[in-house]
Structures are given as C-alpha cells and as structure tokens.
Amino acid sequence: MSSRRRFIHHSILAAAGINTLLLSRCKDLTVQSKSEVTDVFDLDEVTIESLQKMYSAGSTSAEKVTQAYLERIAAIDQAGIKLNAIIEINPDALLIAKALDAERKAGTIRGPLHGIPILIKDNINTADKMMTTAGALALVGNIASKDAFIVEKLRQAGVVLLGKTNLSEWANFRSTRSSSGWSSRGGQTKNPYVLDHSPCGSSSGSGSAVSANLCTIAIGTETDGSVACPASINGVVGIKPTVGLWSRSGIIPISHTQDTAGPMARTVTDAAVLLTALQGKDPQDEATNANPDSGLNYAKDLNLATMQGMRLGIDASLLKRHEEIDDLLGKTLDLLRSNGAAIIEVDYMGPNGKINDPEFTVLKYEFKYGVEKYLQTENFKYKTLKDIIQFNKDHQEEAMPYFQQEILEQCAELGDLQTKEYLLALKNSHEVARIAIDSLLKQNKLNALIGPATGASWCIDKVNGDHWTGYGAYGISAVAGYPSVTVPMGYIHELPIGLSFMGTAYDEQNLIKLAFAFEQLTKARRAPKFIPSI
C-alpha cells in the first residue's frame, strides 16, 4: 500500500426484555440495567423479520422493544463498559414507538420497517429535538430546519428513531493523525469485540452500536471506507450504495462525487431491507436522477442466491500480506471454489494506487464547497470553513486536545470547483477508477471483484492517531462512486475481518445476492464478547 493510500485511509475512513445470555454477559462485565425488564423476548441478534413476527403475534410491541434497547444503551453504552457509540438519545423514541403500535392495532402497517428501532450517524439532519453536529463542538446546538431526505423516508417507513451515533469528527476529515471514532462532542467510541481497539471510522458509532445490539439496524455514511471499514472491524454487514441510489441532501458532506449514506446491519437481509426503503429520486440531489432502477426490492428472492457459476476477481497482491489473514482468506477462497465459484486473479489495487493523490485533492476542494454550502443553509453563526477553524483555535483544549485540524486548514485556502487543479484531479481519480472497474469486469467476465475490507483492528491511540493495518479492497469502488457490500468473513484473535464485494454502477442487486450467498456459506457473524484487551 502506498504512503498516500495509508494517509487517505487515516484521513477519510474517514449499529421490554433481554434474554438470559445478555443478562449474564452484562453481569460478567459488572454492568447492570437501570431497571428490571419483565417481558421475555430475545433482542440479542434479533432481525427485522423476527421482530415483525413477534409484533404480528402480539408477543411484544415496538414500545417494549424500544424500552429494552434504551435500557441496554444505558447499561453498556452510557455506563458499565461505556461503549460510547451513541452521541444522543431521541427523547421522543418511546412516543414514536407507542404511536406506531397504535397504528398497527388500528390495522395500518407501513411496511417491513414498521416499529423497527434504528440509530443514525450524527451528520444526518433530523428536524426534531436532536442536534446534527458531525461530532464537532462548533456545531453544538444545531437543530436542523428540515429532515434529510433519507430521514423523511425513514419516518414514512415507520421506524423508531432511537438516536444518533458518534463518529470520527467531520467524518474523519480534520487531521492526518486522528483517532477513528473520536469526536470533540462525543469522545472515543470503542470496539465491542476488544474494547481498547479501534472501531474504525468514520461511521464508527453506527458499526459499534449495531454490532453490540444497541439497535436493530443503523445508518452510516461513506466517502472512502467509512461504511466498509467499520462494518469489517465491528463484524457487521455494510452496504455502500452507488452514489445517487440514496439522496445526500441534508447530510453534512465531504464530497458530492463520493459521499453516500448506507445501511449497517447484522445480516445481509436486514441491510437489503433498509437499502430498499430509502432509495428514491430527490429534487435536492441531482445524482438521484441517474438511478435507472429506482424501486427495486433488494431483499427479494435472496434465498435463491448461489455461488455456483460465479466468477469473482481478486487482486493477487491481497493474497500475501499478513500470515493469519492469508490463511483466513485462503480458506474463504477454497470455500467459494468448492461451492461452484471461479476465483480469477486480477489487478485492481494497481490502478487504485495511482489515483490516491488526485482523490485527496478532489476531496479537499469538494469538502470546502460542500461544508460551506451546508453551513449557509441553516441559521449558523459560522458560515465558512475559516469560521470553524477559528472556533477550534478559540476552544483548543476542548476541540483539539489530541490532534489538530490541518486538513480543514488546507481546504480553507483552496479555490472553487472551476479551478484547473480540481478538474484535472477529478478526471484522474473518479473517471480512472470507473474505467478500471468496468474494464476488469468486462474483460474477465466477472460477476464481482472481492477482497478483504481491512486488516485487523488496531489499538486506539488518540495521540498518534490510527495505525492502518492494510488491505482496503473497497477503495477503488469508493473513488468511482460505485457500490460495495462488506460481510463478516472470520476473526483474527477475536478481531473481525470482513470481505468486500464490488461491482459497477447500480449493481447492488447482484452484489447483495453474492453477499447473501457468502453469508449463508460462512455464518461468520457472532456477537461480540466485550473483551477488555488482548
């Protein structure tokens, strides 16, 4: 991996009743719920389908399920081991759940997400009692005037919005030595598998929360790896959609050519259900007009998915990097072959390496443009990136206790999006990546590209920053604005490793079927044990 790719990843990587197993685990961790729970149902690894069956049978309600999640958050996120994945609880969560129960009782069921508790990342606007801050102290007090488009879709679908998750501040686009999962507003999120290890960023809170069963499903956002990396490192499924499948309006941005929100869940099916519900054309986001198949049901007929006859391309350079991951990956490829897949060695990390420098240039220009446009749409005291930089300097001890803001400072000095440097960089990153992926798929007659999403998680280090452990197979898809689906593959010393499936634009249906078939073959996902250290 080039030094620039390592830098990019450091900068950009930048989800009632609790069963006996859960209670005993909390007890082992000296964590106690604030109040006793009387209803008996299993929230540990619960799925959308299983909750809907319980709702239909009348064995529980959205209000009871929401109460149980709130108690679990109080027990292990805000107290006890203090996972710190949640930055803010929605004070209206129980009222929303109760209203949805009343709708169900009256015969109205909005769809598969009716009454399902969800957490969303704190860079997504909600016009309610919760703030939207991207984890930054400068934005504390920001109550959005309007829901983000995807939040409107969530409310229409009947979810229970539990709250917002912590993240790497400014989606990890502040400093070259930031700590993934740390924000000046929210502090440091922990990895639920090994608590002193990184949850990766920037959707660290969403990945950690859904893995630790603090919600049923979650939403993260990605520019380059910020869904895929925390999905891999927190042992969950993450879908990074094609840019434009989900609207980005009302989300604090980095890059309008690479940004997208995406589902994070414990199963491929749950992630596909959420992906389906939030797609749609938004007049405020022109990228959504390019989707040729708006309205697809990505969760349909997944049980028919198979690896038989599939041709999967993997970059040969990923096969010999770390002896334990080499062994895990080798066994995975053998499993795929034994189930009818052909594994073709190709080169996609090569062209990916060549686009790292222009990618970073693109992101810096687009970050300045996008953030200042966002600041000016709301009633902010701060209107420019330089205003944010000055706030951080004026509040150095609280805003920058561990690392600085050199990326913000670099962005603030740049010109507009008509600058020749920007236009050339965009062509040499975005277009090159798209051509590379499309050519590889066509020339080798591939159904998808695959590769390890990340190496094993590293120890949290707020002083020196992240210690990126390699791989990042999803990178070329991020630069292209193309989709990737990351699924648990296995574990190294209790630390999860995910496999990413990548394809061309709007290839989500194909990738999700491949990911589902892989998930059913491996059954790799297992609930975290909250180990203090290894």
Q: Which DSSP state fits 406?
A: H
Q: Within 10 Å of residue 189's Cβ, how many Cβ atoms? A: 37
Residue 403, Cα to own-chain centre: how many angstroms?
23
Length of the chain: 534
Considering 64, 121, 164, 513, which one is annotated as catalytic?
Answer: 121
Residue that has been written with the tokens 């913000």 in this structure:
408
Contact in structure between 357 and 107 (CB atoms under 8 Å): no
Burial class from Cβ neighbours inside 10 Å (0-12, 13-18, 19+) for residue 344 reads: middle
How far apart CA 396 and CA 280 sit, in angstroms, is 42
| Angle at the Cα of 170 from the Cα atoms of 3 and 528, rounded to 5 degrees | 80
Rounded CA separation 267/138 (Å): 36
Residue from 179, 202, 204, 232 carrying the catalytic annotation? 202
Beta bridge pairs of residue 451: 500
Find where tokens 């491949």 sit: 514
- CA–CA separation, 163 vs 235, rounded Å? 21
The most distant pair of C-alpha atoms in the chain lies apart, rounded to whole Å, by 64
Find where tokens 């969303």 sit.
120
Query: Which residues, at least 6 apart from 446, have a Cβ–Cβ distance to it below 8 Å?
Result: 311, 312, 313, 344, 346, 440
Residue 64: CB partners within 8 Å, gap ≥ 6? Answer: 16, 17, 39, 41
Mark whether 121 is an active-site residue: yes
Of 175, 208, 226, 232, which one is the catalytic site residue? 226
Catalytic residue ranges: 121, 202, 226
